Amino acid sequence: MKFSVPDNLSEALEKLKLASTDSATDSVESCLDCLLKALANNNTEASVKIQEMGILPLLPTLLKPQSSCTPKVANIIAEVAKNEFMRSPCVEAGLIPPLIQLLNSTDQEVLLQTGRALGNICYDSQSSKEQFASTNIAEELVRLFQKQTEHEKKEMIFEVLAPLAENDVIKLQLVEAGLVECLLEVVAQTVDGEREEDIAQLKTASDLMVLLLLGDESMQKLFEGGKGSVFQRVLSWIPSNNHQLQLAGALAIANFARNDGNCIHMVDTGIVQKLLELLDRHVNEGNVTVQHAALSALRNLAIPVVNKSKMLSAGVADVVLKFLQSEMPPVQFKLLGTLRMLIDTQAEAADQLGTNGKLVERLVEWCEAKDHAGVMGESNRLLSALIRHSKSKEVVRTVIQGGGVKHLVTMATSEHMIMQNEALVALGLIAALDLVAAEKDFVGANLVSVLHKLLSDERSAPEIKYNSMILICAVMGSEPLHKEVQSLAFIDVVSKLRAHENKTVSHQASLTEQRLTAQS
C-alpha cells in the first residue's frame, strides 16, 4: 500500500518557512519533528515535498552551533540525502559550509548527525563530490582530525573522508592538507593495540591510505621519486606482523607500481625481496587477501621489460608457483597474470615454466573453469604465451601431453581479438614444431573447420585472417588434416581474400592459394 504524505507535512513546511525567519525555537522544533516523522514514513515522497516547497535553502540558518534544533536539522539533511536526486540540491542550497563548521561541535548528537549528513550527500554522487572539491572541506576535515583525541570522533571524520577521497581532485587536496601524516600517526598508535577500536582504526586508516594512492597525482606526489617518507613508511608495513598492515603495504606498492618509472625504481631498491618474503609467510596458513595483494604488486612490477629478468633471477616465479594449489579464484587469477607478465619476451623462463608438467596440468584444469571467466581466460593466455615466448619443441610436447591443444583451438574462437591472435600464433608454432604429435588433437578439436569459419567471417581482423592462412599451410603436411582442408573448399574462401585491402593479407592469400592448388 502507498503512504500518502499527511497534509500536516505541508502545514509543517509552511510553518517552518515562517518560523525560520523569527527565532521561536519551540514552533520550529515541532515542525522538525513532523518532518522527521514524514521522512520515516515515506522518505522519497517527503523529500520531494521538501524540495518542492523550497525548504532546503532555509536550513543553513537553522544549523547554528548553539541551537537545540541543530541535531534535528542535520538528521533531516542526512535522511533527505539518502535519495540520489536530493544530493545536488543539498549542495546548491549551501548546506556544506555550515555542516563543515558543525564538525567542531562538542555535542555528540550534533557530530553524529552532521557526519551522517555529509557522508550521505557525497555518497556515490559524482556531482556533489565535484562541488565538494571547490570548498575547503579537505583542509577543514584534516584540521579537525588533527584535533581529535576520541575514537568516535575520528571514526566519524573517517566516514566522511572515505567517500570524498574517491574523487581525484579531493585526493590531492587531502594529501596537500596533510591527511597522510595523520593516517601514518594513527597506524603507529594502533598497530600493537589489542582493543577492538584500535583494530578498527588501523583498518580504516590503512584502507584510506591505499585509497589516496589510487589517484595518479596524489600517488606520484607521495612517491617523490622513491625518496618520499610516506613511501618509505608504507614499505615498512610489509614485513610487519599485522595482516591488515601487510595487506595495505602490498596494495600500496601495487598502486605505486602504476607507471614504468616507479616500477623500475622499486625493483632496483629491493622491494621484490620484501614481497617474496611476505608471500612465503602466507603459503600455508595463508591470508587470501594478502596473497592476492602481494601477487598484484608483483604483476605490476613485472610490466617494464627491464624488470623481468631481474625479477626472474630474484626467484619470483618459484615463489609464485607455490600458490598453484590455491583454490581461491582471485589468487589463481593474479598468479596467472604475474607469470604471464614475467615470461613476456623471456625465452629461457618460458622454456623452464613450459616444461613444468605440474604447471601445465593445472593450467589445462583452469582452462575449464567455466564459473571463473577471468581465471579461464588467463590460463589460456599463459598456455599460449609459454609456447609463443619459448618457441620450444619441448614446451609444445608438454602442452600436447597435458591436453592443452583443444583449449587453444577454443581460444581461437574467443570474442577478444587479442586472445584469438595469441591462440593462432601458438597453434602455428605447435604445427611447425611437432605436427605429428599434435595431429590427433587438431582433428579432435575440429581445427580445420574453426579456421574455415575465421576466414569466411567478414568481421575477422586482418591479423586473424593472416594467421589462419599461415596455420592452414602448416597443417597441410598431415594427411588427415589435408583431407579436411580439401573437403571444405578452402580455395574459394582464400582466393576471395586476394582482393583484401590489407596488403599482408592479400599477399598471404596468394601464397596460400598456390599451396592449396599445388597440393590438391
- Confidence label for 22 from pLDDT (cuts 50, 70 and 90): low
State which amino acid sits at residue 3: F
The Cα–Cα gap between 36 and 50 comes to 11
- Confidence label for 313 from pLDDT (cuts 50, 70 and 90): very high
Among the residue ranges 37-41, 124-128, 330-334, the one predicted with the least confidence is 124-128
pLDDT of residue 20: 64
Q: What average pLDDT does range 108-122 have in this prediction?
A: 86
Q: What average pLDDT does range 360-365 have in this prediction?
A: 97
pLDDT digits (tens, 9 = 90+) for 377-421: 999 999 999 999 999 999 999 999 999 999 999 999 999 999 999
The Cα–Cα gap between 370 and 511 comes to 39
- Kindly tell me if the per-residue pLDDT of 303 is higher than 70: yes
To 10 degrees, the CA torsion angle through 182, 184, 188, 191? 110
- Kindly tell me if the per-residue pLDDT of 6 is higher than 70: no
In 3D, which of 49, 62, 58, 57 has the Cα closest to residue 10? 49
- Kindly tell me if the per-residue pLDDT of 138 is higher than 90: no
- Confidence label for 2 from pLDDT (cuts 50, 70 and 90): very low
Among the residue ranges 12-21, 60-69, 219-228, the one predicted with the least confidence is 12-21
- Kindly tell me if the per-residue pLDDT of 246 is higher than 90: yes
Q: What average pLDDT does range 177-190 have in this prediction?
A: 92
Query: Vertex 291, ends 345 and 192: CA angle to 5°?
Result: 135
Q: What average pLDDT does range 216-229 have in this prediction?
A: 90
- Confidence label for 514 from pLDDT (cuts 50, 70 and 90): very high
- Confidence label for 248 from pLDDT (cuts 50, 70 and 90): very high
C-alpha cell recorded at residue 285: 596458513
For residues 150 and 387, the model is more confident at 387
C-beta separation of 95 from 56 below 8 A: yes
Query: Vertex 445, ends 440 and 448: CA angle to 5°?
Result: 90
- Confidence label for 1 from pLDDT (cuts 50, 70 and 90): very low
pLDDT digits (tens, 9 = 90+) for 255-291: 999 999 999 999 999 999 999 999 999 998 789 999 9
C-beta separation of 260 from 306 below 8 A: no
Domain 453-519 bears CATH identifier 1.10.10: yes
pLDDT digits (tens, 9 = 90+) for 435-459: 999 999 999 999 999 999 999 998 9
Q: Which of 38-42, 233-237, 333-337 has the highest mean pLDDT?
A: 333-337
Kindly state the percentage of the chain with pLDDT values over 90: 65
pLDDT of residue 493: 92
Task: Please state the domain extents for the chain.
Answer: 1-133, 346-445, 453-519
Kindly state the percentage of the chain with pLDDT values over 70: 96
Q: Which fold has domain 1-133?
A: Leucine-rich Repeat Variant (1.25.10)
* Helices then strands, each counted (H, E), the chain: 34, 0
- Kindly tell me if the per-residue pLDDT of 252 is higher than 50: yes
- Kindly tell me if the per-residue pLDDT of 464 is higher than 60: yes
- Confidence label for 7 from pLDDT (cuts 50, 70 and 90): low
pLDDT digits (tens, 9 = 90+) for 326-360: 999 999 999 999 999 999 999 999 999 999 999 99
- Kindly tell me if the per-residue pLDDT of 492 is higher than 60: yes
- Kindly tell me if the per-residue pLDDT of 321 is higher than 90: yes
C-beta separation of 245 from 237 below 8 A: yes
pLDDT of residue 154: 84
The whole-model pTM stands at 0.84
